[in-house]
Structures are given as C-alpha cells and as structure tokens.
A and B are shown apart, each in its own frame.
Chain A
Amino acid sequence: KAGVTQTPRYLIKTRGQQVTLSCSPISGHRSVSWYQQTPGQGLQFLFEYFSETQRNKGNFPGRFSGRQFSNSRSEMNVSTLELGDSALYLCATRQGFGTDTQYFGPGTRLTVL
C-alpha cells in the first residue's frame, strides 16, 4: 500500500502571501489530521477532517483553514502568511474517526521570508 503523500515537499513564500498544502491519505483512510511542527512549539494539532467534515480544531487563528474532498484527500490553506508560520506541516491519516493509529506523511517544509 502506498503511504501518505504530501505535496509540495518544500515551499518558500513571502509575508502576506497565501499557501495551499495537499495531503493524500493511505488508500482506505478517511480521516486526515494536520500538525504544525516548529523547534519552539513542538508538534501542535491544527485540525482533523473525516468524511469531508472538520471534526476537531486546534488553537490556531482563522488564517489556517482546511478542507477534505470526497476521495479523502485534504488541503490546508494559510492566508496572509507571517514569519512565524515557517514550520514543517505534517499530515497524518487513519482509517476511521477515533482511536485508530495515525500514519504520517513526509511533511511540507514552509519557509516564510
């Protein structure tokens, strides 16, 4: 089975721009979660989608949004980028909504200049 894929792997943007990241889950996985990883804050939960609906949300400003498509692929959007948004964004998927094990993608490294 193919693993979780994330595109692009690297992004460089400037302040004020917006960015869209993509995550394709393992086949059969219907839940997609997004995490932000920074050296200072560690791994922080952004949101989780299941069956095209946002089920959980972390403590991030409204500039961070996401969506999930009928094929379970998910996108994450960050508008009006700030320097502090520079991070590794990880996507994790699991079969159902609940306590299944999450499997992570390789991440997208976003640099905001």
Chain B
Amino acid sequence: AQTVTQSQPEMSVQEAETVTLSCTYDTSESDYYLFWYKQPPSRQMILVIRQEAYKQQNATENRFSVNFQKAAKSFSLKISDSQLGDAAMYFCAYDTTSGTYKYIFGTGTRLKVLA
C-alpha cells in the first residue's frame, strides 16, 4: 500500500525568505501523480501544485516549485519570497493510477510566516 510521510509537523519562515517543505512517499507503481495542497485557517483546501511522475521536469507555479526525485521517492515544495498569506497547513498527496483513484495524504506541515 502507498504511504505519504511529512516529517516536519511545523516550520517557520521569515517573510520574503525561502522555505522547503519535505514529503516522501512509498509506492511500487511507476506512474502516479503527486500534489501539494494548502489549507489556510479558513479550512478550504487549495491546490498549490501538481506533478506527474512520468515527467522529468519539476513543476513550477509562480513562487511555488517542487523538487521531484522519483528514485528517492521524494517530493519537496519550495516557497520563494514567502508572504504572510502563505501561512497554512500544507498537505502532500499521492494519487494512484492503479484503479483505486483515491488520494493518500500526508499528515501535514504547519507553516508559520514571521513578519
């Protein structure tokens, strides 16, 4: 069974600085999707970025980018030029292509942005 691990329960970053959130996963599949979702205090889960495992190129969305290391089964999120609005819980998620089609979430990392 697939698992997703986020080993950092909480991280802090100074406004305008860069922070990296870690995510590792375990799978025997070769094709899958990985996601980072953000959940601010308002509770709405918002998609931050998506990576398709068969793509070598790391996904980027404005200030958000990933470092996808398929062999190491690592999928970290880098937030550049951190803003106060980035403060939230960040969840890493795995989506299998094997037919079960359900997200497997990590336990989340709470990001605090310090002014």
A26 to chain B, nearest CB (A): 12
B-side interface residues toward A, CB under 8 Å? Answer: 33, 35, 37, 42-47, 50, 91, 95, 97, 100-108
- Can you name 6 A-B pairs with beta carbons within 8 Å? A42-B108, A43-B91, A45-B103, A98-B97, A104-B44, A105-B44
Please name all residues of chain A whose beta carbon is closer than 8 Å to the beta carbon of B95 when the two chains form the complex. Answer: 99
Query: Which size class do A's interface residues fall under?
Result: 20 to 34
Dominant SS among interface residues on chain A: strand
Please name all residues of chain A whose beta carbon is closer than 8 Å to the beta carbon of B100 when the two chains form the complex. Answer: 56
Minimum CB distance partner of A107 in chain B:
B43
* A98→B44 CA distance, assembly (Å): 22
Asked whether A42 lies within 8 Å of B101 as measured between CB atoms, the reply is no
* A21→B82 CA distance, assembly (Å): 36
A109 to chain B, nearest CB (A): 8
Please name all residues of chain B whose beta carbon is closer than 8 Å to the beta carbon of A88 when the two chains form the complex. Answer: 43
Minimum CB distance partner of A42 in chain B:
B107
Please name all residues of chain B whose beta carbon is closer than 8 Å to the beta carbon of A58 when the two chains form the complex. Answer: 102
The answer to whether A104 and B37 touch (CB under 8 A), given A43-B91, A88-B43, A90-B45, is yes
* A45→B46 CA distance, assembly (Å): 17
Asked whether B102 lies within 8 Å of A101 as measured between CB atoms, the reply is no
Minimum CB distance partner of B107 in chain A:
A42
A 92-109 contacts with B by CB, 8 A: 92, 97-99, 101-107, 109
* A101→B93 CA distance, assembly (Å): 11
Among B43, B50, B103, point to the contact of A106 (Cβ < 8 A): B43
Minimum CB distance partner of B42 in chain A:
A106
* A35→B42 CA distance, assembly (Å): 17
* A98→B97 CA distance, assembly (Å): 7
The answer to whether A102 and B44 touch (CB under 8 A), given A42-B108, A43-B91, is no
